[in-house]
Structure 1
Amino acid sequence: RWENQARQRERRLAELEQELLEKNSRMEGLQRQLDDSRGQLEESRRRQVERIKALSGRTKPNVLVCWCVHQYVTHTVEVESADSQKALAEMQVKNGALQEQLSVQRQLLRELETQLHESQRTCAQLRTQILVYEGEMERAQGQLEVEMQNLEEEKNRVIEEAFIRAESEMKAVHENLAGVRMNLLSLQPALRTLTSDYNCLKRQVQDFPFMLDKAITEAKQEICQVISEVSSTNQELLRKYKREMNLRKKCHNELVRLKGNIRVFCRVRPVSQEEQDSADAKTMLSFDSDDDAILYLSNKGKIMTFELDKVFPPHATQEEVFQEVQALITSCIDGYNVCIFAYGQTGSGKTYTMEGVTHDPGINQRALRLLFSEVTEKAPDWDYKITVSMVEIYNETLRDLLGENPADKLDIKMNPDGSGQLYVPGLTEITVQSPEDINKVRTSCFFLSV
């Protein structure tokens, strides 16, 4: 740090010396300019004096002659003839011309005197500027001397501090050296021990390849044995897993069969605000508190009883409704045909039950999420391909909403493979990877079907 400060002060000293040299050079240039201006001023003054003298010498005789002629003409004008009158007029014209020439010479004399005064003022300004530069040069010289003195003192101080620090560091180095020597003496026994250990290890290293080959051979044998055991275990586990999957599939489908291949649910929507405000509004439905499959309908004073698989009251949630049909998604993955549809008059809540809203989705969205969740979970053991087709049956006409021309009529036929399943020839199928893909397809179909 001190060396950097010393170098910075030396650079500053060099900059001040260079600045002093530049100011001296500038002073010399100004001095030369002043000398040139003085010489030009003296030369101009000399020429002006000579010109003034010359003008004065020419002007005075002309004026005197003109005056004499004028006096003569004036004196004799009374006794001259007509020719004298003419001569007098000519002399007056010449006198006027001489008067104009005299006025021009006087104007020129005033301009020369003005130039002389301007040159004298310029000379005085140059002298003043030279004095200012001389004062600045003296101040710069004094500042330079002061800074040089400060730099010299700082340099001496830095050198002294560096010398003291060097002595201290040298002393510390000598002390460390003495300590290193002591440590070296104390480490010599340890070095001899390490040398002995090294020789022993060297001999062991020579025998290491043989030991390594033997260990590798034994490890390979153990690994092969373990791999064989793991493979056998995996085969047994896979066999048990497939057996359990088949058993689960059988039990699940048996449960679905026991519940009924065709199940009918009834969901009663809440009373709307408009119905509550109506004076003629009446409650036509009632529920059995002991049996959630019974629904009572009041019709023309008579109570009609309907028995279904399940009745959902107005306060039933979307999740509760989906729980009743959730098992069908598993049956779909197991390879069974599944169909879920809603039936009812306009405003009865079909769209809300099947589609729902963004924050509370219905059966469709929940079923898609569960379907892809099950597929992802079973992906390591099974390969699934999910395709989507969208059709519309309107006025006994079947249309392909995903086809190039949705207005074309399609037919429903029996599958020729003998499975007894129905199929639609030429129906468009789109492979999907997520519920979002299906929603995009459904959105485009909704626009086509409107």
Structure 2
Amino acid sequence: MSLKNKLNRMKKHIVREEPEKGKDTAFKSDITSTDLPFKEIWKEHGTTMYFVDDDFCLVREKRYPLQYQHGKYKFQDLLKAVDAWQNFSGTHPLSCKGLSPGDLFFFDTETTGLGGGVGNTIFLLGHGRVEGDEVVVTQHFLPRPGSEIPLYHSFLKTVDYNALVTYNGKAFDWPQVRTRHTLIKEHVPKLPSFGHFDLYHGSRRLFKHKMESVKLINVERKVLGFERVDDVPGYLAPMIYFDFIERKDPQGILRVMEHNELDILSLISLYTHLTFQLLEVSEDSTEQETFEAGRWLEYTGNADMAKERFEHIVNDRGETHHDSIHHLAFHYKKEKDFDKAASLWESILRKCPLRMKAVVLEELAKIYEHKHRDYVTALKKCRELEMVLNEIYKDEGVKEKRLQKLYTRINRITLKAERKNLT
């Protein structure tokens, strides 16, 4: 028997005793009992040390009562938002039905760069959640490059959550966590599975009509009613971290932590606000926000709720909110209430923008042809549509395709009209 075969036969008799990851090696320590530079400043800001063997990270904790107000919302409003979802019968990417307020894990990171990949290091993991009658914000800080084992160990060992709430976290924060975790996964707990609510996408849907950029700081100012004072811009965080690594003075890093903390608090208020807009928990919303909420509900398959939003705007504004009327007409068409649909489209035909007018004319032509069998009016709408298409499209190729389709409809309606007259 060859040596290779002998070794393979012996493998199954070999007993390996592998220690559990992090077992009996992790512990917290009062920062004053160590020789950490500037330890009094760290302690003053609620910081402790978290050790794994001889390596450590820093953990900072801050607590807020639920009555604390951040922008236009108090944190206790989050409880109303979560409760509102419990009565929601549809599906939506922000629905926390079946979860409690404490299950939501508001999460944000600070990194050494804006790019992805292993070259980008997370030096601050921050999260906030409701615990009893408080919101607790916890931050895990990397005091030196190479100490990622205690950083991720402290983060993953002490965190129990069901749903991650981030701002562009699906595209940036969590992929970065996964990348760094891969490098040390043999030494730290596993990454848990979870639901993920990314508020960036909700903000784009509801607020892009009022701001060019939906960066969180803009949403804070224009939507949440919160204005940062003397805040460290996020793009300076890497430079401040590298300065800390060189000098160990925590003053700059503590300001980065405050910036990260405000991000987390804003996520709580923003989740509350988005929920209130979607589920009409409060009346504090503009008509355009109500319309955008309706469109989002429509997109996610909640047709009845979307229709209610559009009806509310139409009843309140009459014929002045063309988008709501246009969408509401489509709902009536889907319900086969063609008379209501045609009436709504006729009401905005002379006032709506050209591109909307092209759709309205085509829909009216269909209704008059197929449902009312009013071929004269149907032809009239087609001729109006022809003029609109000639005005809209400058690209001759695109225009030709649209017109060719229209001429097919005109020929068909003309034949129907002639048969009707013969009978």
TM-score bin (small chain):
under 0.3
* Greater Rg by CA: 1
Query: Which is richer in strand?
Result: 2
Query: Which is richer in helix?
Result: 1
